[in-house]
Structure 1
């Protein structure tokens, strides 16, 4: 499939899953627009990807509506259209809920929830007019199946809300040919997790290991290609959400 004229926006593209998604979409032939808070990190990402004019970095706070407008305006100005939005930007903190400060709660709401709402609004306006498009949200398996050993109420609350929003927006946009889905990863091998913790984290999953970034990217690419799939939250978690 020739995707040389297709464009994807990936929020939080400078590290971890976001960087892996950028690499995967570039390999599929897409133009990639990646967002991040730091211009310097986006420049380093562009150098690492070595994609030339096929990668555009746009700095900004993903939790601000003006940032969402800016990234879509720049993407459309450079590439003409946006075919796919991947809402990947997010932060994860595992600690008892009572220990969260008001500032930390606001930061989590902004980064994990508002970023999805504002970017998805811009995507919906653009894609409805074109009668086609894909929105993919990166959520969390914990939002499908909380675990007593992982205190993560904020992640469960916010990512769980995005799971439900995925279904609701899928219904709203279905008449316009726009699909909306989510990928719900378990623990993934990213810089967030030290190698010495991988075995213990892997034991949380029935398959006995953590996921690779490539496995999350493969799920996102599947949802891009699956035109008759919408409103789905796809767990990529080694069986974590199936129960114990």
Structure 2
């Protein structure tokens, strides 16, 4: 992948939309994402979060605007070349074959031609995703949370040690317990900073988004409600309006973050 500088974002979204004025799935929006930056995408069900990720991967074609990776239009990238610098994890990736966990993770190395299950990269990616303890087990025998960590290891293996890569994750923590959430998110943050990756991560949990992200994008009904630092986006009035919920927002002075709790 072309070396990225501070003046050249890893990801550029220029007035991208999907739909039309009377039936928007995503209204026109723009953003830049720099190397080493984590963007959390939040919003209620149907807000357009997965639609945005579909546009960023090229799975969906925009009605207007364009997506650029390393200042190069998404549709100008050869598939094999793009696969070596951009990786995506979907909400669900069901498997019906009895692959071993390390064989599933090794699929992430296909674009590199070294997709062997005993590769050191496979083991390292499984360790980072909190899935190393699952080594040697069949994927179909795992719980939903365990399968999710194996799939995360697969997408990490795909861009392992690639500088300035782009990582797109759709609800990677939805089936994890508190301990796994903390461990995996800490590891992800470390990898992003270490390799100057850019990470777009869809999260339903606003507290996780607040702790984990550098910036937060709030969507509702296909429209950008706010984009900025978590402390700027997560104010009580906005969250209550977007989520139609009665809640309280607390400020954590030690880490300069907002925490959100539902009222009883």
Give 1 or 2: higher helix fraction: 1
Give 1 or 2: higher strand fraction: 2
* Same fold, TM-score > 0.5, yes or no: no
TM range (shorter): 0.3 to 0.5
Give the TM-score normalised by structure 1. 0.36
Give the TM-score normalised by structure 2. 0.33
